[in-house]
A and B are shown apart, each in its own frame.
Chain A
Amino acid sequence: MRLEHRVTVDAPNATVWAVLMDLPVAARCVPGTRDIALDGDGVRGTLDVRVGPVKLALAGTVVVVSRDEAAGTARLRADAADQRIGGAVRAFVDLVVTGDAPTELAIASDVAILGRIGELGQPLIARQADKVLAGFAECLRRTVAAR
């Protein structure tokens, strides 16, 4: 499934770009993450998500697949698995940073749900993923503003 978000940040383009490429900082902006640590070129950590009474602990990694600072584009890949229920989430996230103070960030995510987590129902998961990404966008705006 494909999810799209846009956020406008009243900050210079370069600042926004810098925060995004600082993966530990960016990852901590995703609501529900914990134990974020550098891991090679990427970060590892755990994302706690609640879908009603069901609690998922998605442990995994985020890496930058490609980046083009001049064009303001980057592609991230996130892989995370929940050991308890059995299942995983994989997402390719395309970031496009345009404009300058205000800077606009477009986040397009292609999210795949694998294994038993899917039994929760695609619409439900889409909503949760949507919420997580919206939270991320909001946190990013605050983080950049604070720099």
Chain B
Amino acid sequence: MTGPTILDRPERRLDGDEKTTGAAKYTADLEVPGALQAAFVRSPYPHARIVSVDTARARSLAGVRAVLTGADVRGQRLGRRLQDWPVLCWDRVLFVGDRVAAVAADTREIADDAVRLISVEYEELSPLLDMDEALRPDAPVLHPDGASYRFLEGRGERPAVPHPNHQGHVLETHGDVDAAFARAARTFEHEFATPRIHQAALEPRAAVVWVEGDRVRVVSTNKAPFNLRDQMAATLGLSKDRIVVDNGTIGGDFGGKGLSTDEFVLYHLAKATGRPVRVVTRYADELTTTNPRHASRIRLRTGVDADGRIVAHESHALFDGGAYAAGKPTARLLVEGGVETLEGYRVPAARHEAATVYTNQVPGGHMRAPGQPQNVFASESHLDLIARELGITPLELRRRNVARPGDPTTTGEPWHGPDLAALLDRAALDIDADRPRPGGRGIGFALGVRHVGRGSTTISLRLGRDGTIEARTGVGDQGGGQHTLIQRIVAATLGVDPVTVRVRRLSTEGPQDPGIGGSRVTPVHGGAALAAAQALKEKLGGRSVAEAAKALGTGEEIVVSAKFDATASDHGACAHAIEVAVDVDTGAVRVLAAVVAVDVGQVINPVGLRGQLEGGFVYGLGMALFEDLALEDGRVRAANLGDYKLPTIADVPPLRIVHLSDGHGVGPYGARSAGELVNPGVPAAVANAVQDACGSRVHTLPITAERVWNALPAPTRRPSGPVRS
């Protein structure tokens, strides 16, 4: 399906004026008269028993209005699905940064002083700092009462796990894997690792909570307010309709703002003081105590026939879930994108084992395409290594194995989605893959495949006498252009100028909404916008919007509402081609050029889409080259943005994005999701290019100069360089 011409014109974002004048109000910008400031006492130990907490000195400090400890909230745990994270710890702390007490005071300085006056006596316990240790048969069990934890309702049940320190575990098989391996001409096995990395939305989390009559009012940076409401209701033992969650403008999410941890204790502080209580997370706490992308270790084994065609595949993936599984909203408590390795390829028989593991590290959570970047780094690096061993080019190996319509994929499901071979060919063409390159330069490829999200929401439209339409939705706009997407679908469907369509976000007092995430908004909210616009069109019965508006009396409006359930299965896809230069004396990698060939179906927001794809590329580039939330003894070493390095404008290479669309997306007008499509493939493409350039194979992200230098094959190293010790 081809969309209306309105969609071909660049959009002017609904939030453009307020964001370029400073008028947009983010949660930390809200004026809340009489608000107290909260601060928390955090554990310095990765694992310890709380012996005692002495708050007397803090309570007597002038300006302190409330002090709470774990004892005050004993038994209350929070989480998106499994509620295993204590609102405040009462018996044990499980990671450096776990909260033991909370203070509300007149100013942030007083709150900070009070925190220092609270003395906590701990008895140190030996910490489980790595996954292998945690999975030893005799390892201490980090959540001995885990069976009693609340598991929030939704699709799916809490998984059974083989070890009590598993958060989630899965073994999926299709085909006779062992027989298929037995038939393979050659079998290859490799292991890869990725570190924790942080979403690093530049707006730190913030929240304000107050009690108003029998209502609990929450303003939060959480990107899924209904989910936060439901979590709070479950944890705090309140009925859902007593809690109202609202947002300010959200300053970036990238998955991290799906988990909120402060709002729960802020409620208790607000109740104790009768005043609004707010907190704006210090960036150091943001980096060290919120839910980063899981570190992973992934082992892959693949059998190929004499022609290099994949006949059998298996994967073993471990994800370090840290102290709590609370950050994962999925029923299996996995980072689901990490389970099915070799996505996008024809895999006649496969076995995938994946697990998330409890350790005494900072808890893991969701981040832009959860699990996928780890998976794709392993899968696409593995393919390159296989190609080299087989003596064929990595591109040729991919061409032979890429899934075509109807081919069995790694899940056993037949492939339906974009033409992957065409994407690869186009990326190869645009990077000029056949051109000989001088020493120290190389190119690398990777494929990216991302499902299109599903779910249900309601959007209503109100046509007023002035001819304008207000669309009401429960979804926020964290920067992805969600509201402009709704505006343009409505305008396109009704054939009106987009400027006549406004979008208003409702709090949780409006109809249920799943929030932002899971590549959901384009099919789900876009679909609902389309359905609502079609419903309005029908109601107008052949009249134009302008005619219908003129016929309205004072105060009259035409209201329609559409609930839409997006159920169809679909994928967006992209092929990466990246050219690098490696300085072989130092190992330093410079990305010279990048091409991303994408199929995201019909474009709704051309400017916004470009931004999602370009931004996704750089997001992946950061993971490839720089980002590493390294821990030492359970403590995050890079606790500020001076040490946790994000790409800057001077670090990004020339990037060409090529659109190839079959126009068959399942979203409105044939659209597909784009936000989580591009970032997962970048690290593998860079790693593959680095090996092509200099022979260094880096199995562990990020691809630092030092790692590349250490992995240089002997002949590449200069024969008579300076002293290297």
Contact = CB atoms under 8 A, between A and B. Distances in A.
A122 B632 contact: yes
A88 B44 contact: yes
B633 A119 contact: no
Contacts of B643: 121
B632 A87 contact: no
A122 B284 CA distance: 15
A102 interface: no
B107 to A, nearest CB: 18
Nearest to B633: A112
A76 interface: no
A110 to B, nearest CB: 9
B116 interface: yes
A141 B632 CA distance: 33
Contacts of A112: 633
Nearest to B636: A118
Given A114-B44, A115-B44, A119-B284, A86 B632 contact: no
Interface residues of B, number: 10
A1 B632 contact: yes
A30 interface: no
Interface string B635-648: 10101000100000
A113 B284 contact: no
B45 interface: yes
Nearest to A113: B635
Interface string B105-137: 000000000001000000000000000000000
* Residue with the greatest number of chain A CB neighbours at <10 A, chosen from B44, B116, B633, B639: B44
B633 A1 contact: yes
B93 to A, nearest CB: 12
Contacts of B45: 114
Interface string A107-146: 0000011110011011000000000000000000000000
B39 to A, nearest CB: 12
Interface size class of A (residues with CB under 8 A): 10 to 19
Interface string B264-290: 000000000000000000001000000
A86 B116 contact: yes
A87 B635 CA distance: 13
Contacts, number: 20
A118 B116 CA distance: 15
A118 B44 CA distance: 9
B637 A122 contact: yes
Contacts of A118: 44, 635, 639
Nearest to B115: A86
A88 to B, nearest CB: 7
Nearest to A90: B124
Contacts of A86: 116
A12 to B, nearest CB: 37
B713 to A, nearest CB: 31
Nearest to A110: B633
A127 to B, nearest CB: 15
A82 B516 CA distance: 44
Contacts of A1: 632-633
A118 B634 CA distance: 12
Interface in B35-74: 44-45
B44 A119 contact: no
Given A1-B632, A114-B45, A119 B116 contact: no
Contacts of A88: 44
B552 to A, nearest CB: 62
Nearest to B632: A122
A122 B45 CA distance: 15
A118 B632 CA distance: 11
A119 B635 contact: no
Contacts of A114: 44-45
Contacts of B639: 118-119
Nearest to A117: B44
Interface in B438-492: none
Given A1-B632, A119-B284, A122-B632, A87 B637 contact: no
B191 to A, nearest CB: 26
Contacts of B116: 86
A27 B499 CA distance: 76
A74 to B, nearest CB: 21
Contacts of B632: 1, 122
A115 B632 CA distance: 13
A119 B638 CA distance: 9
B631 to A, nearest CB: 10
B126 to A, nearest CB: 12
B643 to A, nearest CB: 8
A38 to B, nearest CB: 23
Interface in B581-619: none
Contacts of B284: 119
A122 B643 CA distance: 12
B44 A87 contact: yes
B45 to A, nearest CB: 7
Interface in A81-113: 86-88, 112-113
B42 to A, nearest CB: 8
Nearest to A123: B637
A60 to B, nearest CB: 14
Contacts of B44: 87-88, 114-115, 118
B273 to A, nearest CB: 24
A112 B45 CA distance: 10
Interface in B564-595: none
A122 B639 CA distance: 11
A23 B632 CA distance: 30
A85 to B, nearest CB: 9
Nearest to B635: A118
Contacts of A113: 633, 635
Contacts of B635: 113, 118, 122
Interface string A1-27: 100000000000000000000000000
A57 B281 CA distance: 28
Given A1-B632, A114-B45, 18 more contacts: A1-B633, A86-B116, A87-B44, A88-B44, A112-B633, A113-B633, A113-B635, A114-B44, A115-B44, A118-B44, A118-B635, A118-B639, A119-B284, A119-B639, A121-B643, A122-B632, A122-B635, A122-B637
18 contacts: A1-B632, A1-B633, A86-B116, A87-B44, A112-B633, A113-B633, A113-B635, A114-B44, A114-B45, A115-B44, A118-B44, A118-B635, A118-B639, A119-B284, A119-B639, A122-B632, A122-B635, A122-B637
Interface of A: 1, 86-88, 112-115, 118-119, 121-122
Interface of B: 44-45, 116, 284, 632-633, 635, 637, 639, 643
Q: Which 6 residue pairs spanning A and B have beta carbons closest together?
A: A114-B44, A115-B44, A86-B116, A122-B637, A118-B635, A112-B633
